[in-house]
């Protein structure tokens, strides 16, 4: 994001971080006033806890363009900014990216690998799922293996959460939540989607 756009967003939040405080005016001639055409000569002070203000500003700023996000994470980022159009666009784009991929739809025998980044004390790990035919004409996705140690705390709640039964689109939830950048999909022994590949 360009610096001028970031300054406009920060200025807007500083003028009125929440609806319950009066709008604070910038003093004309102040360097930030150039980014706010509504600035006046009458400053109206307000007080706010610094960490709360920082969270308000961070919620308004989009993440760096270089950071890959899942469609759901992009939608949540837009929701925090109260940008309904961007929220819907992120979800629609995620759906379109999956359903227009040349290897879509999933087929029995597809292997789906998902990579998870480290969180807190937990190291990065991966899961491998297999797409199989289901009883009622749809597909299921079964967990084949994972790379977490068996003595990992809360192991049952951490792995296998994207396994589905008899689903018309077994990959959709994983695609939208984990994101295509974390997935590698193998069909007939060949990768058809390599997540994170530049």
pLDDT tens track, the chain, 198 positions: 445 566 666 666 666 666 666 666 544 444 444 555 555 555 455 565 565 566 666 666 655 544 578 898 889 888 888 888 888 999 999 999 999 999 999 999 999 999 988 777 777 888 999 999 988 889 999 999 988 777 666 666 678 889 999 999 999 999 999 999 999 999 999 999 988 754
The number of C-alpha atoms within 13 Å of 85 and in the hemisphere containing its C-beta is 0
At residue 58, the pLDDT reads 61
How far are the Cα atoms of 38, 47, 80, 105, 125 from residue 28, in angstroms, in the given order? 10, 21, 30, 58, 53
Pair 178, 70: CB distance under 8 Å:
yes
Between strands 111-116 and 125-133, the pairing is: antiparallel
pTM reported for the whole predicted model = 0.62
Sheet arrangement for strand 125-133: 164-167, 139-146, 125-133, 111-116, 183-187, 190-194
Q: What is the C-alpha separation between 28 and 116, in angstroms, rounded?
A: 49
What phi, psi does 7 have (nearest 5°)? Answer: -65, -40
At residue 29, the pLDDT reads 46
Which residues, at least 6 apart from 80, have a Cβ–Cβ distance to it below 8 Å? 59, 60
At residue 28, the pLDDT reads 44
At residue 147, the pLDDT reads 86
Pair 186, 192: CB distance under 8 Å:
yes
At residue 50, the pLDDT reads 60
């Amino acid at each position: 994001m360009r610096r001028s756009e970031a300054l406009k967003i920060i200025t807007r939040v500083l003028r009125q971080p929440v609806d319950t405080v009066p709008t604070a005016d910038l003093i004309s001639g102040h360097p930030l006033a150039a980014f706010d055409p509504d600035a006046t000569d009458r400053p109206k002070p307000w007080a706010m806890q610094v960490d709360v203000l920082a969270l308000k500003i961070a919620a308004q700023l989009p993440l760096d363009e270089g950071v890959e996000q899942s469609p759901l994470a992009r939608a949540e980022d837009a929701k925090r900014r109260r940008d309904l159009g961007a929220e819907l666009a992120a979800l629609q784009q995620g759906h379109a990216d999956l359903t227009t991929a040349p290897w879509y739809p999933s087929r029995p025998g597809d292997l789906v690998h998902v990579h998870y980044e480290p969180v807190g004390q937990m190291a990065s790990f991966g899961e491998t799922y297999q797409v199989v035919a289901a009883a009622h004409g749809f597909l299921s996705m079964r967990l084949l293996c994972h790379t977490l140690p068996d003595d990992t705390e809360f192991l049952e709640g951490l792995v296998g959460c994207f396994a589905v039964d008899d689903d018309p689109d077994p990959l959709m939830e994983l695609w939208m939540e984990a994101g295509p950048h974390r997935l590698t999909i193998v069909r007939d022994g060949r990768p058809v989607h390599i997540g994170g590949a530049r």
